[in-house]
């Protein structure tokens, strides 16, 4: 397929595509759109940055333009992805203003969202938690939805949103078309997702376990104490915008403040920021007011910032699939980029899991022990490195490290359980304190102005859901 004109799309949609300078469909779009236009369910996967949003948004809008009735519902795992999908849909609707939309995410006024819903939108985009909030208050009617999209399905199910998705789907007619898209679709997630579909067409473009070839990947083996000096060296040597991924929310704040103090403009984004702070932080990075964005995995999915040149995995992700999503923040829309992973001896298990995901035939070099302190390439430790006093000391360190890892994983599970209980609800943190860390002065001034207008007090009283 050479261009969108061959798809028989409505003229308003073709004019919007021309205005957006979308001329040639990407591979996932060329395969998915014709099938979706036939009304079939789709289980689709493709590498990050290949145009999956347009792959489901174009047939969705075409269906709504060709029918007088009917609605579409798009669910995403995070607020940021929902905002980005909404922005893309609005651009595609530039030639069809009669199709109204509603954005239902946490951290924003329920009153304003109810105003959007009273305008009878035919396209609703949101997170599972906030959509459930509106269902509980009877402020949204999904009985006319005949087009359902679950974006980044694996992430939603992995985050424990399955029960919430079930509650939403039960309010939607059985006679509907369902599209599921993600960059990675593990077999267990595929099996779980098929309960929402009827004989879906499986469409996969490229390897879902291989990042784009345009991403140059590097690994740096080092000791934990050398990570920050090495990061400073990388920031000095590289040109362009950089995302630095860390593991914890507190670590993101602390890192952004430290980077800023050392001469690089940096900002943090994570789940403990309220929606206004997250939106302003992301917009500052998009506008290149800050060169470095320190982020948790909240920024690993779907965020499209074209000028990101480099991704640095300061901390490796706990789940191997997240590595692919993280480095997919660079090399967007045909550009090139680079990804660097810091690998400490303690990261050996995580790094081996990532390598096996990228290459199922990967085997650590002879002599490597996954429970040892060897580096990720399986080489034995260098002379001069401290080892235990014999086998007993080694076993003791292994048990100690395994216990630490167990407690860390248990903490992650507790976080997920809490998020599962609240949906996507994140209570805004009290202003001041650690929220100031890593926040440039112009954002602090804007936040203080918001505080003066009472926005934060209103959020704490009314908007505790995400």
Three-state secondary structure of 347-362: HHHHHHHHHHHHCCCC
Q: Where are the alpha helices (DSSP H) in 67-138?
A: 79-92, 110-118, 128-136
| Upper half-sphere CA count for residue 168 (Cβ side, 13 Å) | 28
What is d(CA 428, CA 274) in angstroms, rounded to the nearest whole number? 5
Q: What span, in angstroms and rounded, lies between the C-alpha atoms of 255 and 28? A: 37
In angstroms, the CA 451 to CA 457 distance is: 7
Sign of CA dihedral 135, 140, 141, 145: negative
SS3 465: coil
Measure the CA–CA gap between 93 and 166, rounded to whole angstroms: 29
DSSP code of 98?
T
Query: Counting runs of H as helices and runs of E as strands, what totals does the chain give?
Result: 17, 13
Residue 132's alpha-carbon distances to 106, 167, 257, 382, 416, in angstroms, are 11, 8, 36, 55, 18
Coil, strand, or helix at residue 251? helix
Neighbours of 14 (CB within 10 A): 18
Burial annotation 446-466 (CB, 10 A radius, 16+ → b, else e): bbeebeeeebbeebeeebebb
Q: In order of start, what are the domains of the chain with their CATH numbers?
A: 4-205 (3.40.50.300), 215-380+403-449 (3.40.50.300)
Distance from CA of residue 310 to its chain's centroid?
A: 17
Residue owning tokens 């940096």: 266
pLDDT tens track of the chain, all 466 residues? 678 988 899 999 999 999 999 988 999 999 999 999 999 999 998 877 778 899 999 999 999 999 988 999 999 998 989 999 999 999 999 989 899 999 999 989 999 999 999 999 999 999 999 999 999 999 999 999 999 999 988 888 877 888 999 999 999 999 999 999 887 777 877 887 888 899 999 998 876 556 667 889 999 999 999 999 999 999 999 999 999 999 999 999 999 999 999 999 999 999 888 878 888 998 999 999 999 999 998 888 767 788 999 999 999 999 888 898 899 889 876 788 999 999 999 999 999 999 988 887 888 766 554 443 333 333 323 333 333 333 334 444 344 444 444 444 444 444 444 444 444 443 333 333 334 545 555 555 555 555 444 544 454 444 444 4
Q: Quick one: residue 140, left, alpha or beta (phi over 0 = left, psi -120 to 50 = alpha)?
A: beta
Q: How far apart are the first and last CA of the chain?
A: 40
The edge-to-edge listing of strands for the beta sheet with 145-151 is: 101-104, 123-126, 71-75, 145-151, 177-182, 42-46, 201-205
d(CA 424, CA 53): 21
What is the C-alpha to C-alpha distance for residues 209 and 195, in angstroms, rounded to an integer?
24
Structure confidence at residue 375 (pLDDT): 36
Q: Give the Å distances, CA to CA, from 4 to 1, 9, 195, 260, 380.
A: 8, 8, 32, 45, 55
Q: Dig out the tokens for 403 from the structure.
A: 């216990």
Phi, psi of 367 (to 5 degrees): 95, -10
β-strands 201-205, 42-46 pairing: parallel
CB 276 within 8 A of CB 303: no
As beta bridge partners, residue 204 has 45
Distance CA 138, CA 64 (A): 24
Q: Under 8 Å CB-to-CB from 223, ≥6 apart: which residues?
A: 344, 345
């Amino acid at each position: 397929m050479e261009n969108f004109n061959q798809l028989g799309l409505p003229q308003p949609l073709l004019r919007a595509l021309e205005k957006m300078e979308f001329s040639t469909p990407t591979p996932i779009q060329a395969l998915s759109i014709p099938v979706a236009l036939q009304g079939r369910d789709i289980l689709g996967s493709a590498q990050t940055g290949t145009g999956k949003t347009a792959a489901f948004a174009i047939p969705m809008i075409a269906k709504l333009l060709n029918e007088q009735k009917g609605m579409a519902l798009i669910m995403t795992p995070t607020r940021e992805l929902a905002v980005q999908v909404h922005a893309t849909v609005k651009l595609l609707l530039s030639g069809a203003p009669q199709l109204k939309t509603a954005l239902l995410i946490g951290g924003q006024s329920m009153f304003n969202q109810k105003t959007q819903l009273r305008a009878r939108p035919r396209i609703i985009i949101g997170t599972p938690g906030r959509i459930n909030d509106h269902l509980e208050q009877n402020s949204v009617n999904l009985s006319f939805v005949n087009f359902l999209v679950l974006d980044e399905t694996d992430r939603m199910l992995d985050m424990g949103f399955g029960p919430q998705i079930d509650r939403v789907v039960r309010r939607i007619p059985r006679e509907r078309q369902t599209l599921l898209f993600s960059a990675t679709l593990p077999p267990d997630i595929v099996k779980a997702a098929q309960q929402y579909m009827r004989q879906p067409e499986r469409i996969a473009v490229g390897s879902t376990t291989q990042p784009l070839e345009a991403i140059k990947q590097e690994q740096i083996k080092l000791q934990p104490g050398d990570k920050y000096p090495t990061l400073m060296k990388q920031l000095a040597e590289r040109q362009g915008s950089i995302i630095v991924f860390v593991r914890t929310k507190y670590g993101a704040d602390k890192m952004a403040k430290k980077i800023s103090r050392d001469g690089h403009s940096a900002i943090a984004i994570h789940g403990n920021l309220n929606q206004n702070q997250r939106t302003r932080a992301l917009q500052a990075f998009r506008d290149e007011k800050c060169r470095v964005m320190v982020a948790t995995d909240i920024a690993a999915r779907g965020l499209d910032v074209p000028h990101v040149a480099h991704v640095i995995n300061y901390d490796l992700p706990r789940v191997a699939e997240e590595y692919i999503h993280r480095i997919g923040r660079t090399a967007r829309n045909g550009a090139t980029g680079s990804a660097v992973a810091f690998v400490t001896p303690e990261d050996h298990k995580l790094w081996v899991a990532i390598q096996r995901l990228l290459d199922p035939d990967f085997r650590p070099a002879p002599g490597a022990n996954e429970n040892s302190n060897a580096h990720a390439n399986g080489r034995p430790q260098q002379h001069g490195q401290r080892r235990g006093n014999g086998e007993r000391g080694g076993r003791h360190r292994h048990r100690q490290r395994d216990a630490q890892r167990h407690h860390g994983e248990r903490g992650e599970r507790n976080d997920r359980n809490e998020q599962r209980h609240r949906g996507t609800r994140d209570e805004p943190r009290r202003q001041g304190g650690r929220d100031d860390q890593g926040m440039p002065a112009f954002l602090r001034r804007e936040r203080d102005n918001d505080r003066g207008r009472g926005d934060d007090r209103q959020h704490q009283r009314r908007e505790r859901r995400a």
